[in-house]
A and B are shown apart, each in its own frame.
Chain A
């Protein structure tokens, strides 16, 4: 049991802890959720930023491209200016003036201009471009916004999923609860099945598990989808960047090619179109060097003249050097000390293409016959046939030993129709302009200009031969990572180029996806945990509840068993205890010395106390086990009150406490109910009051419930003048006061016991009716008692169909009030109980009395007792009116007879009542002479009288004193003694006198084996004057009756043994 209690207290602590931990858990979960949302948001923002950066990079690239193009066009204009400046001015004007006439020149210039048409347009509209540049940021912002709009989609997705998750959870939970409730209903119908609850616990657990699993799956799904999204975006970026690069390369290449083309036309115009040529090696070198920035992809340009074999000698002579042959076999082994002079002269061929002009960077190829190189030769042949720029396959360039591509343009006679056949073109060819692209360095340079060059790896391939593509640029890494291929068109349909882009680094782990999914998983797990905890708690609480119920049932059973046990055992104890007491009594009757008698007395008083206690316990047990039944017999309520007050009169008399009872006249004389139990209640209440009152009064009043409300209550106008609590407050809680029942002969009584004791402490007031509870544990030590009294009283009152209540203020006092329902006994015909006191009462009918008392309640109480005797009572509150009334009556003697005057000892303050007759006497001496006989008899009513006061009573003018608490019999006795009315009673014995005469002097034999009967009979006969002889047995009687005998009569039992 004690362990049980310990575990309970532990549980309490746990509960307390839990109460604290619960908000903590909730806070923690909220924090987690908040954090994960923040994380998500942050990630999204991060993603957006990343994107923005990427977009900005793209934008930068675009911007750069634009700028480049713009710059190019600007450059071109600049180049034209340079051209002008490099030619001498006079010549230029000459040329210009000449060419004004020369339509070909103009057209070719125009052609140049037209070739660069978009760039020119751009340059014309430079402001527009600037504006575009300016507004670029805006564009990027727009792009960003676009991505922004694009971004929340996964976020929304996630939120949606989380909501779905929650719904799943709650559905699972609700389902679990539904199962539970249905199970409970099932349980209510049938009895209790513990495995059921476990079953539903399992069910909801399963749902929970499913929910968590689903949530985790969702988290994984989120991860996968986000990862796919990221990969997609990466790919997209790669494609964008690759395309961008390819296009830029292509653009720049085209630009360079265009320039080379322009250069070809320039050469055709100024070298071939003029005699003598306006261009020599120096001019060419200078011009090309100064316009090199326009051909960002070219390492150098050179011009080779078409020389037929028949013209070779003349040509060689003219230039002063031999046409040399290219060293094709060792192209790859070209060294820095490459000297063209050492080359062999070109072998005889149909035609040659010796380089006559070259840029400084490639000056080593001057005089080399381009036709001697295999690649170059093919190139030249193709170029002059198509009239367009032609590219070679990539090969190692001379001298620099870099992989390169040579671009060749044919220079025609100026009079070539635009739709000329290849043959015509070949015929019109005068020379070839070649330009070499140093692909790796050029691409490098190009890529350098672009942002984010470190993120991707670019490879450039010549894929003319699909089976064996030639790598032109880029590291030879065959990485497995994803790759994007974009085609690059260099304007030569015979060659195909591709750009392969791949990311330099492996894709970073998709952090956003990981964190998001992890966040979702964490939320799911947390929610799962919460639900799990809730389910556990519910189960736990249910278990506890079950246990409690079991315990409750057991406790109730134990309680009933206890009550039965108590009832049985008390009864069993009482019987032998009575024997013990009886024997003790008998022991005390024997001849004992003082010590022995003292021992016996002690033992007997202890035994009596024990019996009293057992009786109380028995009552309580009887009430609890519901075996107490009330009797319904006629009884006199006033007698009970008298006797109870008398029972407790010792202590109040010693302490000088006023004690009084007052029963309303409306209360019937005879009630039908359980007098014993009613007396018990009154005894309890009055006993308590006596116990706890040290000064003041104890006042018992009985009214009908219907009249109780109209009773006036004065705070100071009390029996002893002490303050009392307001008893009306008690009645407010009584339902009976509010709804008084109107049953036929039912009498509802309101009994109030008022005292001016120590009062009940506020905190003890609630448990005052609990069995074995006293207001204070020290109470039992100070005042004794078991604490059962009030509890029993409450039960009894309830059995009587009433209510009990109290009001108490520490220091002022307590008032207990109860209601009880009885039946009116006066209406029932037999009135047999009355006849005990009736003869005595009839003596006083018609008498008149004056009660004088300063306190109206006390006077009322005294008057109540007198009225019970049938005496007419006047009440005089103040002294003068009392004296006047007495004198009035005395002076007009005869008519208004006054038989007695009752004066309270403390009528107008302590001890003031004693001097009342003297005042009366003085007054009488002053006034008219009154006959001594006509003066009424004076009685002093007092709680306590000292022997000296008793002694002086007669001299003070009083006939006798009556001690409070007043009782009918005592008042009657007193008055009878004083007025001598008791003589009537003697006459009542007239009837037995006849019997007396009959029996007097007679000899009677009484025969009975029963000693008691014998004694009784003998005594009765003696009473009437007979001489009685007793015989204890039949034989003796027969012997005594042997004639002659002098017995006049013989009384004998019918069933006499031995006869």
Chain B
């Protein structure tokens, strides 16, 4: 029963994320990729994404903190973030990154800072949801493994 409930909860969460536009079709594709052969695929991917993103964000913050901003570097980082977020299906983060890159091209520091904030905001929002998702998945897995035993 609990397993069912957990699955339902997970489903609901993912659905709501779709509805809110946090995730796009890409994530669906990822879901389809996950099967018995690779049960922790999404969790792994999300953890990877999160780690990568946080590193990039830290770098970006450091770069934009400096008096003279190396926009090329910034752009590279943003591009990287955009790539990873789009492959995960984090739509909002991706869009925020596109905005960021525009500011970057304009060498608009003010805009960049603002965009960084937006990206961070969106990222943390998504991050919270992902956390919940991971937690649910962990529990499901734990349950399943218990049942199997």
Contacts and interface: CB of A to CB of B under 8 A. Distances in A.
Contact of A575 (B19, B30, B41, B117): B117
A967 B52 contact: no
A367 B29 CA distance: 180
Which of A676, A1013, A1016, A1019 is most buried by chain B, counting CB atoms within 10 A of its CB?
Answer: A1016
Nearest to A644: B12
A643 B15 contact: yes
A1012 B128 contact: no
A575 B124 contact: yes
Interface string B75-86: 010011001100
Contacts of B29: 1020
A484 B78 CA distance: 129
Interface residues of A, number: 44
A675 B19 contact: yes
A1053 B20 CA distance: 30
Interface string A801-840: 0000000000000000000000000000000010010000
B45 A1012 contact: yes
A578 B127 contact: yes
B125 A578 contact: yes
Interface stretch (A431-439, A579-587, A777-785): A579-587
Contacts of B121: 574-575, 578
Given A582-B124, A635-B19, A1010 B8 contact: no
A931 B88 CA distance: 53
A633 B19 CA distance: 9
A639 B87 CA distance: 27
A287 B91 CA distance: 160
Contacts of B79: 1055
Given A635-B19, A969-B8, A1019 B41 contact: yes
A1016 B30 contact: yes
Interface in B4-61: 4-5, 8-9, 11-12, 15-16, 18-20, 29-30, 33, 35, 37-38, 41, 44-45, 47-50, 52, 54
A589 B127 CA distance: 14
A578 B128 contact: yes
A1015 interface: yes
A81 B88 CA distance: 164
A1017 B5 CA distance: 32
A649 B4 CA distance: 13
Contacts of A930: none
B131 interface: yes
Given A643-B15, A836-B15, A1019-B33, A1013 B45 contact: no
Given A582-B124, A1012-B84, A1023 B33 contact: yes
Contacts of A1053: 83
Given A575-B120, A578-B121, A1016 B87 contact: yes
Interface in A1043-1057: 1053, 1055, 1057
A508 B131 CA distance: 111
A973 interface: yes
B16 A582 contact: no
Contacts, number: 98
Contacts of A1013: 83-84, 87
A1023 B45 CA distance: 15
A37 to B, nearest CB: 85
A575 B80 CA distance: 22
A969 B19 contact: no
A646 interface: yes
A342 B127 CA distance: 166
Main SS of the interface on chain A? helix
Nearest to A1022: B38
Interface in A968-992: 969-970, 973
A1009 interface: yes
B67 interface: no
A1019 B45 contact: yes
A1015 B44 CA distance: 9
Contact of A646 (B12, B20, B41): B12
A643 B83 contact: no
Given A643-B15, A646-B8, A973-B4, A1010 B87 contact: yes
Contact of B80 (A574, A967, A973, A1009): A1009
A616 B84 CA distance: 32
B68 interface: no
Contacts of B19: 633, 635, 675, 833
Nearest to B11: A969
A963 interface: yes
Contact of B15 (A639, A647, A1012): A639
Interface in B88-137: 88, 117, 120-121, 124-125, 127-128, 131
Interface in A1009-1035: 1009-1013, 1015-1017, 1019-1020, 1022-1023
Interface in A610-657: 611, 633, 635, 639, 642-643, 646-647, 649
Contacts of A574: 121
Contacts of A585: 127, 131
A1015 B52 CA distance: 12
Contacts of A639: 15
B48 A1012 contact: yes
B149 interface: no
Contacts of A1055: 79
A756 to B, nearest CB: 24
Contacts of A589: 47
Nearest to B16: A643
B52 A1020 contact: no
A582 B128 contact: yes
A851 B54 CA distance: 53
Contact of B88 (A647, A833, A1016): A1016
A836 B76 CA distance: 36
A407 B61 CA distance: 150
Interface in A581-612: 581-582, 585, 589, 611
A963 B1 contact: yes
A945 B11 CA distance: 23
Interface in A917-965: 945, 950, 963
B126 to A, nearest CB: 10
Nearest to A1008: B83
A9 B28 CA distance: 66
A676 B45 contact: no
Interface in A380-404: none
B83 A1019 contact: no
A582 B51 CA distance: 11
Contacts of A675: 19
Interface string A242-258: 00000000000000000
A970 B52 contact: no
A1057 B124 contact: no
Contacts of B35: 1023
Contacts of B8: 646, 967, 969-970
Contacts of A643: 12, 15-16
A810 B30 CA distance: 52
Contacts of B12: 642-643, 646-647
Nearest to B117: A575
Sorted nearest first, the 5 A-B pairs with minimum C-beta distance are A578-B124, A1012-B84, A643-B12, A1013-B87, A1016-B87
Given A1010-B52, A1019-B41, A1055-B79, 16 more contacts: A574-B121, A578-B127, A579-B120, A582-B50, A639-B15, A643-B16, A646-B8, A646-B12, A963-B5, A969-B8, A969-B11, A1010-B83, A1010-B84, A1012-B48, A1015-B45, A1016-B45
Interface of B: 1, 4-5, 8-9, 11-12, 15-16, 18-20, 29-30, 33, 35, 37-38, 41, 44-45, 47-50, 52, 54, 76, 79-80, 83-84, 87-88, 117, 120-121, 124-125, 127-128, 131
20 contacts: A575-B120, A578-B121, A578-B124, A578-B128, A582-B50, A582-B128, A633-B19, A643-B16, A646-B8, A647-B12, A967-B8, A970-B8, A1009-B80, A1011-B52, A1012-B49, A1013-B83, A1013-B84, A1015-B44, A1015-B45, A1022-B38
